[in-house]
Amino acid sequence: MGLDSSRNPWSSTTAPHDFFTGPIWRRERKPMRDVFTLITERVAIDWGVEPICAHVGDVQLCEIKNHPTYQVLRSKVRLGRSKSVASVRLWESVSTLAKESGQQERDKWLMILLDLLTPHFGRWSRELARKWNYEVSDIRSAMMEGALDAWFSMPGGTPAKELLDTMMTRAFTGARGLVEAGSSETCAARAEYLADAAHDEDATLRASVIIDARTVQDPDADERIRGERTGALLQRMGVFDHVKILHEKLRSGRRDEVDAPAITPAQVGRSWVNGKNLYYRISDLLPQYVGFSEAANIAGLSESQASRMARKGTLPFRVLWIGNRRFVSVKSLMHILGIQDSIVHPDDVENGAFHVGGQ
C-alpha cells in the first residue's frame, strides 16, 4: 500500500516551507514559548535596543554617561552561587526601582528583575524536567510563580540580597513541589498574571488616601487647604520660582500623562476647566535621589552607622548603586519618615504662596 502524498508532509510534492508554516508546525512550536520566553519578549518590547540605566532608572539623570543595552547588561549578570559584587549591586538597584518607581515603570523593572533570574533558572529547570520526565514549561511556570509569591509577600524593607535568596528558594521549592506531587495537571502562570500581580500591590497613591476626615469633613475643602498650606511653606522657603517652572510645564502639556497621579471623580471637575489633569505629587518638586551620607543624615544616622546597618540588612531605606557610589530614593526617605506624598493642584499651591507674599 503506497503512501498518499497528500497526507505525507515529507513527500516530494510538499515543499519544506509549506510544512514548516502549516498548522502542524505552529502546534509544535507553541509549547516552547514558556513563561521565561514570554518575560524575555516582554522586556525586549519595553526596552528595545536603547541604552538602559539600572542605577537610577533614567539615563539622563545618571552620573555614568555610558550605558549598555539591556541585552549586554543581562549577559554580564551572575546571580547563581558564584554571585559577583557587581551583579548583587545591580540586583539591589533594580529591586529598588521595581518597588519605588512610578506604576508603569514598576511593572517594567519587575519584568527585568525576573528576567535576570531566568538564565540561572533555565539550566536547572531543564535538568529537573529530564530527571522527572516532566514538561519544562510547567516547571518554569511553577518556578516563576514561587519567585513572584516571594516578591509580593516579603516585607517592603527586606534587604535586596535576602529578597534574592528568598525568591530563588521559593522558585526551587515550587518546582520540586510540582514534580514530586506526581501529577501533570499544573497551574501554569500565564504571562498576563505577571502584569496583573504587579498592579495588585498598592502601587499608586490615590487622592482618597490623603483626605483626613477627622479634621476636614469636606474633601474639596481639604484639598484646597492642603494645597494652600503647601504653597505657603514653599514661598517661605524661598523656592517658589522652582515651583513655577513645574506649574508652567503642567499647564503647557509637556508632562507625560503616565506620570500624572490618579484623581477621584470629584477632582475630574477641575480638570474639565482646561482639559488637563494638572494635579501633581509633592515629590515631583524634589530631586529623585540624594547621596547616601545625606540620606543617612536625614534619617538621623551617621554614614558609618548607616553602612553597618546596610551590611546587616537593617537599613530602613533602599539603596541604589552607581558604580561604587550609593544613592537613595527621596520617595523611600519620605516613606520611612512618615512624610505623605500629597497630591495638590497648582491653583491651590499658588493661592497659598500669594497670600504669604502679600499678593
pLDDT tens-digit readout, 122-161: 888 888 888 888 888 888 888 999 999 999 988 877 788 8
Confidence of residue 272 (pLDDT cuts 50, 70, 90): low
The three-point CA angle 306-308-314 to 5° equals: 75
**Out of 13-22, 165-174, 216-225, 235-244, which region has the weakest mean confidence (pLDDT)?**
13-22
Return the percentage of the chain with pLDDT > 90, whole number: 5
Q: Identify which has the larger pLDDT, 14 or 99.
A: 99
Measuring CA to CA, how many Å separate 188 from each of 99, 126, 160, 306, 338?
A: 25, 16, 27, 42, 40
H/E segment holding residue 221: helix 219-236
Q: Identify which has the larger pLDDT, 199 or 217.
A: 217
Q: Identify which has the larger pLDDT, 254 or 194.
A: 254
Q: How buried is residue 298: exposed, middle or buried, by Cβ count under 10 Å (0-12/13-18/19+)?
A: middle
pTM above 0.75, yes or no: no
Per-residue pLDDT at 92 exceeds 50: yes
How far is 121 from 315, CA to CA, in rounded Å? Answer: 29
H/E segment holding residue 208: none
pLDDT tens-digit readout, 301-353: 888 988 888 887 788 888 888 778 888 888 888 888 878 888 899 999 999 88
pLDDT at 275: 66
**Out of 90-99, 212-221, 254-263, which region has the weakest mean confidence (pLDDT)?**
212-221
Alpha helices by DSSP H, listed for 21-159, are: 23-29, 35-47, 70-75, 85-100, 103-132, 136-153
Confidence of residue 6 (pLDDT cuts 50, 70, 90): very low
What is the average per-residue pLDDT within 168-172?
A: 89
Confidence of residue 247 (pLDDT cuts 50, 70, 90): very high
Confidence of residue 192 (pLDDT cuts 50, 70, 90): very low
Alpha helices by DSSP H, listed for 133-218, are: 136-153, 160-180, 191-200
Backbone angles phi, psi at 167, to 5 degrees: -65, -40
How far is 90 from 168, CA to CA, in rounded Å? Answer: 16
- Average pLDDT of the residues of the chain: 75
Angle between helices 191-200 and 136-153 (to 10 degrees): 10
CA-based nearest residue to 111, from 50, 39, 47, 55 = 39
pLDDT tens-digit readout, 24-73: 334 444 445 788 888 888 888 888 778 888 877 778 777 777 788 888 88
Q: Identify which has the larger pLDDT, 262 or 207.
A: 262
How far is 206 from 228, CA to CA, in rounded Å? Answer: 19
